[in-house]
Structure 1
Amino acid sequence: MAENKQLDLNAKWDAYLDLGLRRFAYSSLAGAIGGLLLFRSPVTRWASLAFGAGVGIGSAYTECSYKFDGSPAKLSTPTISDTPASLDGQE
């Protein structure tokens, strides 16, 4: 049973690395092409490439966190009963 869980974890890490590297490469390429087409300054071209790489890594991280942990906990808005009494106007 423990060996089966280890194999499942290894498969998830393999999928994470594959997805992460692919999205990093494709987004960096899209950022580089966009930078070449839209910007003249080398600094803004590098910034466009870095932005694309960040988007790729972020999207890969988000999708892989769903695979590892399942759906993230939903944030709820505080209700009146959650607020301290001093904020309600009651002393």
Structure 2
Amino acid sequence: MTTSELKVAEKWDTALEKGIKRTAYGAIAGGVVAALLFRGVGIRSAILGLGSGIGVGITYAEAKRDFEDLAPQEAPAEGKI
């Protein structure tokens, strides 16, 4: 494997690890909030899903930024800014 392939593999490993952790943390936080504030099963499930979704979204945004840093930077074409 080349160094660029190793960097991509490392980014994927990091992104997956963070994704699993943040999804779990979001679900736990959502579950605690739901258990303390709401009585209905439907709203508890919704809050739990919201917490999980926030964890996934944060991970996605960070992973996207990390993978964009790996992409080669292009110089602007002549005549265009």
Q: Same fold (TM over 0.5)?
A: yes
Structure 1 equivalent of residue 66 of structure 2: 67
Structure 1 equivalent of residue 40 of structure 2: 41
Name which one, 1 or 2, has greater alpha-carbon Rg: 1
Structure 1 residue ranges (4+ consecutive) displaced by more than 6 angstroms after TM superposition: none
Give the superposed CA RMSD.
0.9
- The percentage of counterpart residues that share the same residue type is 36
| Structure 1 segments unaligned to the other structure (5+ residues) | 71-91
Q: Which structure is higher in RCO with an 8 Å CA cutoff and minimum separation 6?
A: 2
Q: How far 1:32 sits from its partner (Å)?
A: 0.5
Give the alignment's TM-score, normalised by structure 1.
Answer: 0.73
1:3 is aligned to 2:14:
no
Give the alignment's TM-score, normalised by structure 2.
Answer: 0.82
User: Counterparts in 2 of 1:1-91, with a 5 A limit?
Assistant: 3-70=2-69
* Deviation digits for residues 29-81 of structure 1 (CA, Å, limit 9, x no counterpart): 000010000100011000000000000000000011110013xxxxxxxxxxx
Query: How many pairs align?
Result: 69
| Structure 2 segments unaligned to the other structure (5+ residues) | 70-81
